């Protein structure tokens, strides 16, 4: 065995060690986020219920009577009617966040973010050394795609934090799913570091696959916000009707308002949709260079297009009366479900020209 091969194997082994190290630190971040939610203050249900009820109740209509000059007929001046927001949500304030505004909860939250940053750096180093071990883009199989996908999702989250966005509430579900993704990658999807199949030897690998990973990571964050929106919106509706809130009321009340979650999900989905569109176009161009045709109805191509149609339907629904709020949210979750099937199902269970999972 020559020295170059040994060096490559050493880098591949070091990449594996870094992945497991990152998982250990992500676990600590997960526990810190749990502590942030547990030790954060539990806002009073009664106060929140009063705020939501007041926001949901229609304001009393005041009618001003103005008597015309000269003793003419009186004129009734009716006020303008303010309707609910377009998304169907209530004009209520955002919750105080996972920490609940307490020093102890905020301390655990800052520790969680710090650990997430450390884990991300290890994660990034693992992906980089994996690439260096074979001198190519680290996206040749499902193991490499999954580890990079999780890394980019964390990177987007940390970028939003740096931009001073109120997204620390994503921390717990993000770290949880990253741990699940990496656990699946190292146990079921793991593939030894090796060279690419001939069809993947192209600069389009860097363009097409990187766009797919970035798109998926952002769509994942949009899906998390959409799911939380459904729970928070149901909670607000119960309080507005004067019903007893559920057992997770203290958690839901610390989330942003349903309107804020809905707006965040829509903005991130709408922003990344053009990139997903370009991903499909770039794949078609690469397919022509590799297989001599732009489109061949391969399962991966079909499900990429189905995912595009699903998100296009969701975005169109947001601009259509009667398909806003929860209905649009359900469409967003269905669209992300299509992406997940395209991500896992097509590669693992369906044979095609894109079957590079090596599972």
- DSSP secondary structure string, 122-191? HHHHHHHHHHHHHTS-S-SSHHHHHHHHHHHHHHHHHHHHHTT-S-GGGHHHHHHHHHHHHHHHHHTS--
pLDDT at 151: 96
- Rounded mean pLDDT, 18-39: 96
List of residues 6+ apart from 187 with CB closer than 8 A: none
Is it the case that residue 352 has pLDDT exceeding 90?
A: no
Per the rule left: phi > 0, alpha: psi between -120 and 50, beta: everything else, 310 is alpha
pLDDT at 5: 41
| Number of Cα atoms under 13 Å in the Cβ half of residue 243 | 11
Nearest to 254 by CA among 50, 94, 33, 107: 94
For residue 74, give the 3-state DSSP assignment.
strand
Is it the case that residue 353 has pLDDT exceeding 70?
A: no
Per-residue DSSP letter, 195: P
Rg for the chain, CA atoms, rounded: 25
Contact call for residues 110 and 165 (beta carbons, < 8 A): no
Characterize 79-115 residue by residue with b for buried, 16 or more Cβ atoms within 10 angstroms of its Cβ, and e for exposed.
eeeeeeeebbbbebebbbbbbbebeebbebbebbbeb
pLDDT at 76: 45
Q: How confident is the model at residue 86 (pLDDT cuts 50, 70, 90)?
A: very low
Average confidence score pLDDT of the chain: 82
- Rounded mean pLDDT, 222-230: 95
Cα separation, 144 vs 186, in Å, equals 10
Cα separation, 18 vs 14, in Å, equals 6
pLDDT at 155: 96
pLDDT at 109: 93
Q: How confident is the model at residue 21 (pLDDT cuts 50, 70, 90)?
A: very high
When mean pLDDT is compared across 62-66, 190-194, 196-200, 214-218, the lowest value belongs to 62-66
CA dihedral 159, 303, 128, 214 (to 10 degrees): -20
Is it the case that residue 74 has pLDDT exceeding 70?
A: no
pLDDT at 1: 42
Contact call for residues 63 and 77 (beta carbons, < 8 A): yes
Query: Which of 310-314, 325-329, 341-345 has the highest average model confidence (pLDDT)?
Result: 310-314
List of residues 6+ apart from 355 with CB closer than 8 A: 347
- Rounded mean pLDDT, 264-285: 94
- Rounded mean pLDDT, 129-134: 90
Using one digit for the tens of pLDDT, what is the confidence trace for 300-309?
889 999 999 9
Is it the case that residue 44 has pLDDT exceeding 70?
A: no
pLDDT at 2: 43
Q: How many percent of the chain have pLDDT more than 90?
A: 48
Q: How confident is the model at residue 59 (pLDDT cuts 50, 70, 90)?
A: very low
Query: Which of 49-53, 139-143, 242-246, 266-270 has the highest average model confidence (pLDDT)?
Result: 266-270
pLDDT at 190: 87
pTM: 0.82
Q: How confident is the model at residue 80 (pLDDT cuts 50, 70, 90)?
A: very low
Q: How confident is the model at residue 18 (pLDDT cuts 50, 70, 90)?
A: very high
Q: How confident is the model at residue 158 (pLDDT cuts 50, 70, 90)?
A: very high
Per-residue DSSP letter, 296: -
């Amino acid at each position: 065995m020559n020295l170059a091969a040994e060096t490559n194997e050493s880098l591949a082994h070091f990449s594996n060690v870094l992945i497991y190290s990152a998982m250990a630190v992500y676990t600590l971040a997960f526990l810190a986020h749990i502590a942030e939610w547990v030790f954060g203050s539990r806002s009073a249900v009664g106060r929140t219920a009063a705020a939501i009820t007041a926001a949901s109740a229609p304001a009393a209509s005041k009618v001003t009577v103005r008597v015309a000059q000269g003793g003419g007929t009186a004129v009734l001046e009716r006020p303008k009617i303010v309707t609910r927001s377009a998304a169907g949500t209530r004009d209520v304030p955002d919750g105080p966040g996972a920490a609940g505004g307490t020093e102890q909860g905020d301390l655990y939250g800052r520790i969680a973010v710090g650990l997430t940053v450390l884990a991300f750096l290890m994660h990034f180093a693992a992906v980089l050394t994996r690439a260096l071990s074979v001198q190519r883009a680290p996206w040749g199989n499902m193991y490499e795609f999954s580890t990079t996908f999780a890394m980019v999702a964390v990177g987007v989250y940390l970028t939003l934090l740096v931009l001073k966005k109120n997204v620390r509430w994503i921390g717990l579900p993000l770290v949880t799913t990253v741990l699940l993704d990496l656990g699946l990658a190292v146990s079921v999807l793991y593939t030894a570091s090796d060279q690419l199949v001939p069809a993947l030897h192209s600069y389009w690998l860097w363009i097409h696959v990187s766009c797919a990973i970035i798109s998926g990571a952002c769509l994942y964050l949009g899906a998390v916000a959409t799911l939380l929106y459904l729970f928070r919106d149901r909670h607000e509706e119960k309080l507005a009707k004067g019903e007893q809130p559920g057992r997770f009321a203290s958690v839901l009340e610390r989330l942003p308002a349903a309107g804020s979650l809905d707006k965040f999900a829509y903005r991130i989905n709408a922003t990344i949709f053009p990139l997903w569109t370009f991903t499909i176009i770039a794949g078609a161009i690469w397919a022509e260079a590799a297989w001599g045709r732009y489109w061949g109805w391969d399962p991966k191509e079909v499900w990429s297009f189905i995912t595009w149609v699903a998100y296009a339907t969701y975005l169109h629904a947001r601009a259509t009366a009667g398909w806003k709020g929860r209905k649009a949210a359900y469409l967003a979750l269905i669209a992300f479900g299509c992406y997940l099937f395209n991500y896992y199902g097509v590669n693992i269970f369906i044979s095609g020209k894109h079957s590079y999972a090596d599972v």
